[in-house]
Amino acid sequence: MRLPLWRRNQDDDLRTELNSHFKMAVQERLDRGESLETAESAVRREFGNDLLVREVTRQQWGWIWFDQFLQDLRYGARTLLKAPGFTLVALATLALGIGVNTALFSVVNAVLLSPLPYPHPEQLVTLHMSKPNFETGAIPFPNFRDWQRQNQTFSAMALSRANSTTLIGLGETEYIRINFVTSDFFSILGVQPLKGRNFLQGEDELGGPALVQISEGLWKRKFGASEDTVGKTLNLGGSVYTIVGIIPASFDLQLGSFSPTDVYLPLGQWGNNALKSRRAALGLHGIGRIKPGLTIEQARADMDVVSQNLAAAFPDTNTGMKANLIPIKQSMTGRVQPVLLLLLGAVGFVLLIACLNVASLLLARSQKRSREFAIRAALGAGRMRMIRQLLTESVLLSIAGGAIGVLIAAIITRAAVGVLPQTMPRLHNIRLDSHVLLFSLLISLAAGIAFGLAPAWKTSRPELQSKLQTSDRRTSAERHSLQNSLVVVEIATALVLLVGAGLMLRTLTRLWSVDPGFETRNMMLFGVSLSPSLANAPPATIRASLRELHDAIQATPGVDAVSLRDGSSPMGDEDDIYFWLANQPRPLSDSAMNWTLRYLVQPGYLKATKIPLLRGRFFSEQDTEKSPPVVVVDDVFASTYFPREEALGKRIRWGPEPREEAEIVGIVGHVKQWGLDSDDTNSLRAQLYQAFDQQADDQIGPNNRLILRASGPPLQLLPTLKRTVQQLNAENAMFDATTMEQVKSGTLQTRQISMVLLASFAGLALLLAAVGIYGVIAYLVGRRTQEFGIRMALGAQRAQVLFMVMAEGARIAAFGVTLGVVLALALTRLMTKMLFGIKPTDPSTFAAVSVLLAMIALVACYLPARRAMEVDPMVALRYE
């Protein structure tokens, strides 16, 4: 027996030791005067069998199990290599099963399990203002300052708000995204600037110093990573800011309300006077760090008290308003968690099927090997020893399969990072790290034991007599039934996956056919920022430039209609306001007011979106900043706030200023603002349209968004549009062009990806299950060839034989489908939230999937059944 390297030394030592013993014994006899020859032969006689002495001594080393393991391993590898067909199929099956599991686990690991890259992430929360019917609202700035001052449980809190501006100088003028932040934002996250410093206390106030932090990326791109960048200035939208710090590129926080940008300004630099209002939430969301040692419950209790005090102090704005604290990880991943867990469950099923398949292959093979094991048992091998040997073989198989699986997973994950939506949290964290590899190793081991145990148990069963006596062509029906039940479970599991995929498919078809309330085809959204020279121009000049822009685009060939827009955008941005009926007194608190989505649009909007006008009129060119304010509402608004009367002609008010009151002049159709799926269930559905041109002067700015209907595929218009925009002013910049179709599919993206993945997993499961049932029937036919021969020799028709075999397959399939339907009924409930318009027990999906699966099972049976039919009775009888 060859020993492993480290054991050979020990063995050499033993030889030396025995050798010295031998020599000393010989020497002693020589000293007594014996001749060398007599001495040696006497000692050799005393000594006994040298090999055997070594063997029994070695056994004391406690390595026997290991030696046997190596022996099993070698034997297993040889056996597997001798059956390349079996080994290949088993390896491929396992590699696929383990591969998809590893890939999905690497996503789950990156997104859900691995700790956030911030110090003490368990202390971090996101902060929101919970309003009646809206849990995660934005926080008015004065309230935030009160939170900061009055809380006892936070070491710090900060706000952020995304915005955009133009970067001037340093090359071509660029439209860039920025974030306004309050002073503690980066220190809460433990982000240390590469150079310079974070903003200090007080620098985030309105009227504070004009400072800026830039990203490492911008520092390299625009300043060539020069050492003296801190202290230099940056021109943003015409104002000059001093650079105080550089944020490292490793900072990659993705929250619902925050993505990293190239430029960070202190919040006060927004210069928005609404920051002073307790009414204006302005899209400000917060993060906070709870003091060490305190729990989130303590922080919540503390903030409840603060909120109550504020409600008492400012009843008209703060009644019903509460601070809402969410653990930061939940904020980041709460949305994708159920989807990922659902998919992880699905791939778990795929692995289960793979294991069942290999188990049934092993069972079929164990038939051939039962004599081998019977002989071993007869020669004195213990049963546990044989089970151990068989398990070593199956674990060897699964580990090899797992290794190939990890390679497959590496390919899948690399592809996945490219395909998955970039807004998915922690996407770039996905990789095959040690946790993932450990996971693959564990599932490989578990799989090896799982699929190996039953066959090993059966194979090693010591029915010596019967096995040695009979030829191996006739044995118990029991083995058979075990194999059949494996396939039954396989079919059942495949059915569960197929039902899941089917339900998602039907959900998506339903969603695609939902009428969004406007026509998405040929619609385009884009932004134009006017030349920076207009940044500080009087409002009248900006209004004139915007009108010019509108008219130029409207006149571009291929453009059917265009509208400047602000506020909400269908299935996109959300903007809402409170209002009350003009003939009633202003409600005491905001929470008692009416609430509506708000869209700021121009007359062309109706034609651009093809939203139907139900009654009254839409805006016209005559509705300007000088004419009386008018608004248009949707039918949901009308039926919500004027349930028993005509809304047309009624007046509403949303502020104390004279121009903050308007007449409702038209009623249009409802738009599915919240996406095709969730709009019906959202609490905020009323929609109000204000005329873009009737906005107050301070709302008019150089960065604007437009919506456009083209006569053909809209993106083809882009070059023409860009020319048009820049002919007006070479410094005008276009940005963020996208089609409404893209926006629409974006709202379905999570579902779509889950459907595609579920469908692929189900397809894989279906394939494996088909192979499984094929294998069992083929095996059965092979073993009964002789019987078929006899039957036919006795006059059975070929069709009868075919029918017999098919009936066996149909029986298995029927059991599998029935069990699968029961399982699926229990399990699909878990995906209720992902479905739309159908129940998780949708009968037609269940029926269709059952029929599909049964058909495939029958096809898989048909191939071997035909072989049974073609048995030549003479050959079959002679076979034995």
Under the rule (CB under 8 A), what is the footprint of another protein? Answer: 13-14, 16-18, 20-21, 23-25, 28, 46-49, 52-53, 55-57, 59-62
Dist CA 398 CA 833 (whole Å): 36
Structure tokens at 408: 């497959």
- Minimum CB distance to another protein smaller for 20 or for 233: 20
Q: Quote the least distance from Cβ 56 to another protein, whole Å.
A: 5
- Minimum CB distance to another protein smaller for 19 or for 242: 19
- Measured at the alpha carbon of residue 412, what is the angle toward residues 411 and 414, in degrees to the nearest 5? 65
Buried b (16+ CB within 10 A) or exposed e, 164-198: bbbbbeeeebebbebbbbbbbbbbbbebebbbbeb
- DSSP 8-state symbol, 779: H
Q: Quote the least distance from Cβ 36 to another protein, whole Å.
A: 15
Q: Quote the least distance from Cβ 25 to another protein, whole Å.
A: 6
Q: Quote the least distance from Cβ 61 to another protein, whole Å.
A: 6
- Minimum CB distance to another protein smaller for 55 or for 870: 55
Dist CA 107 CA 409 (whole Å): 11
Q: What is 670-698 written as a DSSP string?
A: ---TTHHHHGGG-S---EEEEEGGGS-GG
Dist CA 471 CA 126 (whole Å): 73
- Minimum CB distance to another protein smaller for 23 or for 473: 23
Q: Quote the least distance from Cβ 427 to another protein, whole Å.
A: 54
Q: CB of 284 within 8 A of CB of 161?
A: yes
What is the enclosing helix (H) or strand (E) of 161?
strand 154-168
- Minimum CB distance to another protein smaller for 46 or for 736: 46
Q: Quote the least distance from Cβ 67 to another protein, whole Å.
A: 15
Dist CA 218 CA 251 (whole Å): 14
234 CB contacts (<8 Å, ≥6 apart)? 167, 170, 212, 214, 240, 241, 242, 243, 263
Q: Quote the least distance from Cβ 35 to another protein, whole Å.
A: 19
Dist CA 575 CA 687 (whole Å): 10
Q: Quote the least distance from Cβ 388 to another protein, whole Å.
A: 21
* Dihedral sign (CA 483, 488, 494, 500): negative
- Minimum CB distance to another protein smaller for 1 or for 477: 1
Helix (H, G, I), strand (E, B) or coil at 81: helix
Q: Quote the least distance from Cβ 69 to another protein, whole Å.
A: 19
Q: Quote the least distance from Cβ 57 to another protein, whole Å.
A: 4
- Minimum CB distance to another protein smaller for 52 or for 794: 52
- Minimum CB distance to another protein smaller for 57 or for 476: 57
- Minimum CB distance to another protein smaller for 54 or for 543: 54
Dist CA 523 CA 570 (whole Å): 11
Q: Quote the least distance from Cβ 15 to another protein, whole Å.
A: 11
Dist CA 814 CA 487 (whole Å): 11
Structure tokens at 28: 């002693």
- Minimum CB distance to another protein smaller for 28 or for 551: 28
Helix (H, G, I), strand (E, B) or coil at 226: coil
- Measured at the alpha carbon of residue 365, what is the angle toward residues 359 and 370, in degrees to the nearest 5? 115
Q: What is 392-412 written as a DSSP string?
A: HHHHHHHHHHHHHHHHHHHHH
Dist CA 389 CA 73 (whole Å): 8
Q: Quote the least distance from Cβ 22 to another protein, whole Å.
A: 8
829 CB contacts (<8 Å, ≥6 apart)? 840, 841
Q: Quote the least distance from Cβ 27 to another protein, whole Å.
A: 8
- Minimum CB distance to another protein smaller for 50 or for 548: 50
Determine phi and psi for 657, rounding to 5 degrees: -65, 155
- Measured at the alpha carbon of residue 419, what is the angle toward residues 285 and 447, in degrees to the nearest 5? 105
Q: CB of 104 within 8 A of CB of 115?
A: no
156 CB contacts (<8 Å, ≥6 apart)? 184, 187, 188, 288, 289
Structure tokens at 528: 């134009």
- Minimum CB distance to another protein smaller for 10 or for 422: 10
What is the enclosing helix (H) or strand (E) of 168?
strand 154-168
Helix (H, G, I), strand (E, B) or coil at 362: helix
Q: Quote the least distance from Cβ 8 to another protein, whole Å.
A: 16
- Minimum CB distance to another protein smaller for 25 or for 294: 25
Q: Quote the least distance from Cβ 42 to another protein, whole Å.
A: 13
Q: Quote the least distance from Cβ 382 to another protein, whole Å.
A: 16
Among candidate residues 227, 224, 228, 233, the one with its CA nearest the CA of residue 167? 233
Dist CA 462 CA 459 (whole Å): 8
- Minimum CB distance to another protein smaller for 52 or for 477: 52
- Minimum CB distance to another protein smaller for 20 or for 41: 20
Q: Quote the least distance from Cβ 18 to another protein, whole Å.
A: 7
- Minimum CB distance to another protein smaller for 25 or for 92: 25
Q: CB of 528 within 8 A of CB of 725?
A: yes
- Minimum CB distance to another protein smaller for 50 or for 680: 50
